[in-house]
Amino acid sequence: MKLIKALFLILLIGAALLVINSIFSVTMARIYFGRIERDGRYLKVEQEEVFFKVIGDGDPVLMIHGFAGSHFDFLELAKLLSSNRRVYLLDLPGFGLSTASNKGDYSRKGYAELVVDLMSLLNIEKADLIGHSFGGEVSLNIAYYFPERVNRLVLIDSSIHGDRDILPGFFARSKIMTRIAMRFYFQTFPVQRLLYTKGLGDKSLFSSETFGRYFSLVDHMSSSFIYEFINSDDTASISDKLGEIECSTLILWGENDIILPVAEHGEPLAKKIPNSILKVVEGSGHAPFLESPERIAKEIIGFLE
């Protein structure tokens, strides 16, 4: 009987801690979300309202963020590229400031089709693409299925073979369990801070304000969208077609990326894409443009010109 009472007490304390952590996380997210500047605009693409921002003038460049990311991730890099380029930063439906309708196709190919439709609405016939991580997978799908719309391709720490399970299969197969796992685990402040810090090559570059904005947008993601996203997963669907991608491709990779190590993901990717070159960014992690924006901008400008 004492053992049962002890177990019950432990479970009760654990549940209370989960609730407190969730309330704390939501409160912090709302505070940071209220500070976000929204100096872009929305454009309806089929059933989705897509938020995007344009910087500079010149030949078009589209920047596609990674999973749980947003256009804010690319802001500093975009400013460096915008001296002679018209840079389009967008939030894919379900991420950043673009809320998903939950009626679209949220596979990599589906997002590729949406980006191409957005290009048509913006009268962009052909553009250079820059994709980070999951955004690189989307960019690869565009390059394969719509080669006539791509001039050159830049992939930043983008693997199509990574272990991307957001939630365990048991949770992912149930809308209710997905909601519970998102609110009490994935979207909590401590978990996201741990994951965010893990992506940095140099932990001393951690910024509370930058992380706060990032976390508020992770909190903004709906569990119903995540359920649709997980169950639309077509990761690696074009892995055997990479040899058919013809556009010039620059692959940039953080030397200290422990999420997708360059030896396991970057080097094999470079071998599969015929007209590609791999450059490793010393000291950087999974998002080198956040840690070394000037170096990344120099590499991209040299490649595009």
The H or E element containing residue 288 is: helix 288-291
Q: In this predicted structure, what is the pLDDT of residue 17?
A: 65
Residue 225 lies in a domain: no
Q: In this predicted structure, what is the pLDDT of residue 161?
A: 72
Q: In this predicted structure, what is the pLDDT of residue 174?
A: 85
| Alpha-carbon span 25 to 305, nearest angstrom | 44
Residue 190 lies in a domain: no
Residue 3 lies in a domain: no
Residue 203 lies in a domain: no
List helix spans (H) across 82-133: 108-121
pTM of the prediction? Answer: 0.92
| Alpha-carbon span 222 to 211, nearest angstrom | 19
Q: Are 120 and 142 in contact (CB under 8 A)?
A: no
Q: In this predicted structure, what is the pLDDT of residue 61?
A: 98
Residue 10 lies in a domain: no
List the domain range (segments joined by +) for residue 104: 35-164+233-304
Residue 104 lies in a domain: yes
203-255: pLDDT as tens digits: 999 999 999 999 999 999 999 999 999 999 898 899 999 999 999 999 999 99
The H or E element containing residue 195 is: helix 189-198
3-state secondary structure of 283: coil
33-70: pLDDT as tens digits: 888 888 999 999 999 999 999 999 999 999 999 999 99
Residue 226 lies in a domain: no
Domains held by the chain: number: 1
How far, in Å, are 160, 199, 234, 299 from residue 302 at the CA level? 26, 26, 33, 5
The H or E element containing residue 21 is: helix 2-33
Token pair of 224 as six digits? 């119903």
Q: Check which CATH number belongs to the domain holding 100 and give it.
A: 3.40.50.1820
The ranges of the chain with pLDDT < 70 are: 1-18, 21, 24, 162-172
| Alpha-carbon span 140 to 130, nearest angstrom | 10
Q: Are 206 and 215 in contact (CB under 8 A)?
A: no
In DSSP terms, which residues pair with 87 in a beta bridge?
55, 61
Residue 211 lies in a domain: no
